[in-house]
């Protein structure tokens, strides 16, 4: 990453530093024909205070400092990718937008190179986490500014685990299986999504695969590596885990299903973002008191992994005044502004900047700390291969998820690996 950051010329950095110093950061009015208004598009947060903070605190503060009005346009949950696609395709609409997963790669030609400001923002806040670049650096250029990671970890009922003699969350998948068998017998099955949602399925199945030493594609991003003994072991484990700890319905679950099942006390453990604990504390305080959160278990390799689920901010190339948008981004990501935004979200969006490694919001709820610690071993689907178009296609076609799901539904390990391998070879043939 250091190399990437050094790629930005010293002149560029001096230029942007000077501009930000003159402009937003110090609150002075921007000279010349500054835009009167710019728009930042975001997916609605399930934390209302998060959106309200931008509208009521951040945007007015920037307008006061620079005279530029920032419109915060929210789109409904699940539709941001469609909106980003429309904006990128038509070249009209908001100047800045929230992205997720590997979208900066998908939209790279329509996004401004922000390597220069990434360096400034990073320097000001203790530097970037090592994996911040994983989803935003395309051909050596930062195409978006990482904002926060929505970690996918284990959510479990501490009281029910305790009842079966499990006092702390299991360290390995094997131990979790053992606990799950006892809990299911006690009427408290597990519920891990194996259907076609957009996050909670990949959220545990890729980490499971990796922790068994298996990979979808090699580091080169071309060689399909799914057909391996490690994959077979991961599938055999998943089938047993499903049969002995869960119920059939998880095969058809989408992303809302496990939240609903956990909060209605149907399941004792799932893999999810912090939203379960957040909603439990708000709406079901009794459940909130007994909900625990833990990092994903380790596999036979002794390693544990998590899904990287980054939210990032990109500037579209159709933006009339790119410098104004960059200035705003630098101002926004300054700890003076962004710390408050992170804070109202109660650590739901885990910052990619080291300055927040021990921020007070992590300590408001110590049960959220595993989300912070998971950052070190979080990766995008397809890891260790670099982000690529074939990888996006594989995720969109649920190749890995369905490989596990079909095994759980009764197909043989050999068959499901052969199916997935054939699909991946087709997808990666021109990689």
Coil, strand or helix: which one is 24?
Answer: coil
Distance CA 264, CA 279 (A): 12
Contact 111, 326 (CB under 8 A): no
* Residues at the interface with other proteins (CB under 8 A): 81-82, 85, 88-89, 106-110, 194-198, 247-254, 257, 260-261, 264, 266, 389, 392-393, 395-398, 402, 405-406, 409, 419, 422-423, 426
Q: How far is the CB of 397 from other proteins (least distance, A)?
A: 6
With the C-alpha atoms ordered 91, 95, 98, 104, is the resulting torsion angle positive or negative? positive
* Helix axis angle, 389-396 to 413-427, nearest 10°: 140
Q: How far is the CB of 115 from other proteins (least distance, A)?
A: 19
* Helix axis angle, 413-427 to 399-408, nearest 10°: 170
Q: Is 385 left (phi over 0), alpha (psi -120 to 50) or beta?
A: beta
Closer to other proteins by Cβ: residue 247 or 284: 247
Q: How far is the CB of 162 from other proteins (least distance, A)?
A: 23
With the C-alpha atoms ordered 401, 406, 407, 413, is the resulting torsion angle positive or negative? negative
**What backbone torsions phi and psi does residue 201 show, to the nearest 5 degrees?**
-80, -55
Closer to other proteins by Cβ: residue 181 or 422: 422
Distance CA 214, CA 303 (A): 12
Q: How far is the CB of 389 from other proteins (least distance, A)?
A: 6
Identify which of 316, 389, 368 has the alpha carbon closest to the alpha carbon of residue 144: 316
Contact 105, 135 (CB under 8 A): yes
Distance CA 362, CA 373 (A): 11
Identify which of 354, 296, 303 has the alpha carbon closest to the alpha carbon of residue 152: 296
Q: How far is the CB of 82 from other proteins (least distance, A)?
A: 6
Closer to other proteins by Cβ: residue 72 or 198: 198
Contact 399, 153 (CB under 8 A): no
Q: How far is the CB of 300 from other proteins (least distance, A)?
A: 26
Closer to other proteins by Cβ: residue 106 or 338: 106
Distance CA 303, CA 42 (A): 35
Q: How far is the CB of 256 from other proteins (least distance, A)?
A: 8
Q: How far is the CB of 402 from other proteins (least distance, A)?
A: 5
Closer to other proteins by Cβ: residue 298 or 406: 406
Closer to other proteins by Cβ: residue 129 or 157: 157
CA distance to 18, 288, 372, per residue, from 207 (Å)? 43, 26, 17
* Helix axis angle, 229-245 to 413-427, nearest 10°: 120
DSSP structure string for 236-274: HHHHHHHHHH--GGGGG--HHHHHHHHHTTS-SEEEE-T
Q: How far is the CB of 212 from other proteins (least distance, A)?
A: 20
Q: How far is the CB of 49 from other proteins (least distance, A)?
A: 26
Closer to other proteins by Cβ: residue 39 or 254: 254
Distance CA 115, CA 140 (A): 9
Closer to other proteins by Cβ: residue 236 or 248: 248
Beta bridge partners of 157: 291
Closer to other proteins by Cβ: residue 34 or 409: 409
Beta bridge partners of 184: none
Closer to other proteins by Cβ: residue 85 or 172: 85
**Residues 6 or more apart from 323 whose CB is under 8 A from it?**
19
Q: How far is the CB of 388 from other proteins (least distance, A)?
A: 11
Closer to other proteins by Cβ: residue 19 or 80: 80
Residue given tokens 């090592």 in the structure block: 130
């Amino acid at each position: 990453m250091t190399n990437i950051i050094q790629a930005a010329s010293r002149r560029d950095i001096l230029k942007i530093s000077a501009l930000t110093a003159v402009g937003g950061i110090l609150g002075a009015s921007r000279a010349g024909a500054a835009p009167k208004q710019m728009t930042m598009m975001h997916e609605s947060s399930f934390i209302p205070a998060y959106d309200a903070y931008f509208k009521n605190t951040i945007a007015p503060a920037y307008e006061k400092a620079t005279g530029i009005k920032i419109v915060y346009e929210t789109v409904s949950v699940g539709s941001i990718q469609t909106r980003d696609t429309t904006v990128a395709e038509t070249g009209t609409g908001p100047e800045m937008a929230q992205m997720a997963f590997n979208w900066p790669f998908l939209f790279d030609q329509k996004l401004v190179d922000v390597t220069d400001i990434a360096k400034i923002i990073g320097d000001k806040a203790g530097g970037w986490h090592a994996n911040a670049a994983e989803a935003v650096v395309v051909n050596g250029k930062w195409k978006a500014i990482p904002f926060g990671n929505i970690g996918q970890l284990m959510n479990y009922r501490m009281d029910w685990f305790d009842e079966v003699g499990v006092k702390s969350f299991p360290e390995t998948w094997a131990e979790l299986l053992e606990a799950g068998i006892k809990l299911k017998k006690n009427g408290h099955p597990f519920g891990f999504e194996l259907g076609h949602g957009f996050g909670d399925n990949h959220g545990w199945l890729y980490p499971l695969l990796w922790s068994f030493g298996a990979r979808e594609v090699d580091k080169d991003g071309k060689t399909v590596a799914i057909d391996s003994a490690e994959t077979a072991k991961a599938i055999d484990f998943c089938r047993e885990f499903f049969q002995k700890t869960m119920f059939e319905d998880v095969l058809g679950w989408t992303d809302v299903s496990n939240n609903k099942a956990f909060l209605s006390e149907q399941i004792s453990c799932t893999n999810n973002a912090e939203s379960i604990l957040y909603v439990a504390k708000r709406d079901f305080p009794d459940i909130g008191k007994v909900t625990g959160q833990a990092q994903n278990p380790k596999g036979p390799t002794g390693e544990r992994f998590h899904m990287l689920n980054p939210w990032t901010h990109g500037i579209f190339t159709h933006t009339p005044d790119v410098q104004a948008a960059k200035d705003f981004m630098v101002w926004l990501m300054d700890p003076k502004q962004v710390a408050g935004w992170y804070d109202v979200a109660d650590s739901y969006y885990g910052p990619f900047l080291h300055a927040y490694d021990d921020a007070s919001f992590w300590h408001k709820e110590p049960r959220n700390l595993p989300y912070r610690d998971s950052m070190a071993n979080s990766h995008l689907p397809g890891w260790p291969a670099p982000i690529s178009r074939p990888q996006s296609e594989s995720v969109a076609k649920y190749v890995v998820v369905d490989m596990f799901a079909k095994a759980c539904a009764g197909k043989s390990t050999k068959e499901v690996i052969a199916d997935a391998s054939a699909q991946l070879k087709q997808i990666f043939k021109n990689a």
